[in-house]
Structure 1
Amino acid sequence: MYEMYKLAKVTSEMRLFNLHVIRVSKSRWTGSGRLKTNTGVTILCSWRDDNLHHEGVAIILKKSVERSLLEWKPVNKRLICARLKGKHVNMNIIQCYTPTNNSREKDQNNFYSQLQKKMGITPCHNQIIVMEDLNAKVGNDNTDFERVMGKHGMEIRNDNGERLVEFCAMNNLMIGGPSSYIKTPTS
């Protein structure tokens, strides 16, 4: 997404497929902020503070969804949070980009510590959706994690996959697809 024409391509695809919210990992922009395109799409960004054009995350909202935006917060180059007004419950979106399996354990621990901190301050009566590029393979062995991952994991679980299923279990999240983890509100 470093080149601006790529943003135009993404927002064009967003309109074509009638998508309301898109997550972006590795946006490669610098700084952080809120942008509005001339087509009315809103981009919430959390980027690096240097000029290296690596990493970065963003949430792109369709014009009709942007009106529901209650608040948002760029956390760092790997995390951004947004809260949307819902009809029955509010929705908290956490977009993240996890360090790869080859990253230092210190960096991985720091990332999950920050992610857990965001989970801890999210109201339990809100729906929580963690959208990600978690660089994880959860594998097909769901022993002790049936509720978290169901029966449809693939391949063999890697270290990030292990961290992910444990994080989901600890936070009562369910793996809802290849890139989202959902917690429904408690009564």
Structure 2
Amino acid sequence: MQNEAKKTKPEQRQLENLKQEFQILGLDILGVCETRWTGNGRFTSDDIIMLYSGGQDHSNGGGIILKQDTAKSLISDRVMAIKLRATPVDMNIIQAYAPASASTNDEINTFYEQLGQAMTICKST
């Protein structure tokens, strides 16, 4: 998992604007495009988490903003599991990136252990 990233002042202002709109609209999750932020990372700011992915220059880029109490788990660089409170039913999302067939047995076993953790998280209340 990426370390907490530090953003420049313009990027911090963008984040503050996004947080304000997120709270005004009463959202639990929000997808954003054209962040124009470089690299990949994660922010925790007040009661939200922002996951973002961008290129090497300040073009394109996207992200997901979640309430901290909405996002239950980010497991590893290969497995992410989140539980979303939704209506009429809650949703579980597992995103997995399996190792290639050339990977070592240890890498493959670790992946399946992490996938099992994600499934356990999704089964819990």
TM-score, normalization: structure 2?
Answer: 0.54
The corresponding residue for 1:90 is 92
Alignment of 1:1-187 (within 5 A): 3-37=11-45, 39-48=46-55, 50=56, 52-66=57-71, 68-71=72-75, 82-85=80-83, 90-92=92-94
CA RMSD of aligned residues (A): 3.1
Give the drift of 1:71.
3.7
Check the 8 A contact 2:70/2:83 in 1, yes or no: no
| CA distance in 2: counterparts of 1:59 and 1:82, whole angstroms | 13
Check the 8 A contact 1:70/1:85 in 2, yes or no: no
Q: Which amino acid aligns with 2:62?
A: V
Structure 1 unaligned residues grouped into runs of 5+: 75-80, 94-125, 127-187
Instruction: Name segments (4+ residues, structure 1) moved above 4 Å.
Output: 86-89
Give the drift of 1:30.
0.6
Q: Which amino acid aligns with 1:84?
A: I
TM-score, normalization: structure 1?
Answer: 0.38
Give the drift of 1:70.
3.9
Higher relative contact order (CA 8 A, sep 6+): 2
Count of residue correspondences: 84
Which secondary structure does the structure 2 equivalent of 1:8 belong to?
helix
Give the drift of 1:86.
5.7
| CA distance in 2: counterparts of 1:54 and 1:44, whole angstroms | 17
Structure 2 unaligned residues grouped into runs of 5+: 1-9, 96-118, 120-125
Give the drift of 1:44.
0.7
| CA distance in 1: counterparts of 2:65 and 2:76, whole angstroms | 12
Q: Which amino acid aligns with 2:48?
A: V
Q: Report the CA distance shift for 1:86/1:29 in structure 2 as closer, same or farther (over 3 A).
A: closer
Give the drift of 1:57.
1.3
Give the drift of 1:92.
4.1
| CA distance in 2: counterparts of 1:21 and 1:86, whole angstroms | 8
